[in-house]
Amino acid sequence: MINIFKTSKSVALSIDEFFDKIDLGILNFTKGANNYINNNKVEFDQNLRTINILEKEADTVKRKIENLFYLHSLMPHYSSDILNLLESVDDIMDMSKDVLNQFDVETPNIPELIKNDFLELISVSYKSAENVIPAARIFFTSPDEVKDKIQKVLFYNREADVLSNNIKRKIFQEFDSLRLSEKIHLRYFTLHIEQVSDAAKKVAHQLSSLVIKIKM
pLDDT band at residue 74 under the 50/70/90 scheme? low
Provide the residue type at 182 as one letter.
E
Around Cβ 151, how many Cβ atoms within 10 Å? 12
CA–CA separation, 38 and 25 (whole Å) = 20
State which H helix or E strand residue 39 sits in. Answer: none
Q: What is the pLDDT of residues 90-135, one digit of tens each?
A: 999 999 999 999 999 999 999 999 999 999 999 999 999 999 999 9
Structural domains for the chain:
4-215 (1.20.58.220)
User: Do 58 and 21 contact (CB within 8 A), yes or no?
Assistant: yes
Between vectors from CA 71 to CA 70 and to CA 73, what angle results, nearest 5°?
60
| Global pTM value | 0.92
Lowest mean pLDDT across 26-35, 69-78, 192-201: 69-78
Determine whether 65 is exposed, middle or buried from the number of CB atoms within 10 Å of its CB (0-12, 13-18, 19+).
Answer: buried
Q: What is the pLDDT of residues 11-36, one digit of tens each?
A: 888 999 999 999 999 999 999 999 99
